[in-house]
Amino acid sequence: MPRPLALTLDLIARAHSVPVPDDETALQVMTDAELKPGLDAIVARHAGGGGLWVFAYGSLMWRPEFAYSERRIGTVRGFHRRFCLLQRRFRGTPERPGFVLALDRGGLCRGVAFRLPGIDVREALMPVWRREMRGRGYVARWLPVATEAGTVSALTFLVNRASDRYSGRLTDAEIAEKIAAACGHVGPSAEYLFRTVEACEALGIRDRHLWSLQALVAERLRARAAAT
């Protein structure tokens, strides 16, 4: 059974009721032409057998935005899910950057492996490649994902430690402060957190980092509401 969250959409909406305009200068995104060499390189490293899979651990779990023919709960070893990628646009601003999830070194991560249909690998991958790679915050790898039906090789997006968006290892309290305060033109950073925790709970995925953060962010949003 999913556990009740301290963080709620109503609490988030009350804290971030004023729309935030987009600022294209806050994050220059790559064009499809700029993305193509990287996509060509990752496609060339695809083994080919066993189908085409993508591993989701954040917003791809609850908003994949691509067609898929199969979905499995799976585990990646050697990397853990963490809010370590600053978001100065979309769900934050340069003055109040939010966070999105990435995989960083060490530990393991349970998420969802999606099998993509179709025989044209580039065409199938381009929507998710555009979405994840255009902000230069990730590096892509084919990683083994252990599932109950067997291990699959899945395209997985790891944090780009060379990016100026990489925050390093902050405490949960430090991350929660930024998430609670941040909102961009797409919406609050806290909503991204809520949707991800909600998806994990529905799938039976327990993540202590996410669970701690949702409680800490809720606490900060309630304090802000009480002060106004």
For position 144, which CATH number holds? 3.10.490.10
Within-domain flag for 228: no
Residue 226 located in a structural domain: no
- CA geometry: angle 207, 212, 217, nearest 5 deg: 130
Residues of the chain with pLDDT under 50: none
pLDDT of residue 202: 95
Q: What is the pTM of this model?
A: 0.95
Predicted local distance difference test score (pLDDT) of residue 12: 97
Report how many domains make up the chain: 1
Question: Which residue among the candidates 65, 132, 201, 219 is catalytic per the annotation?
Answer: 132
Does some domain include residue 157? yes
Question: Catalytic site residue 219?
Answer: no
pLDDT of residue 1: 74
Q: Which of 104, 3, 8 is nearest to 58 (CA)?
A: 104
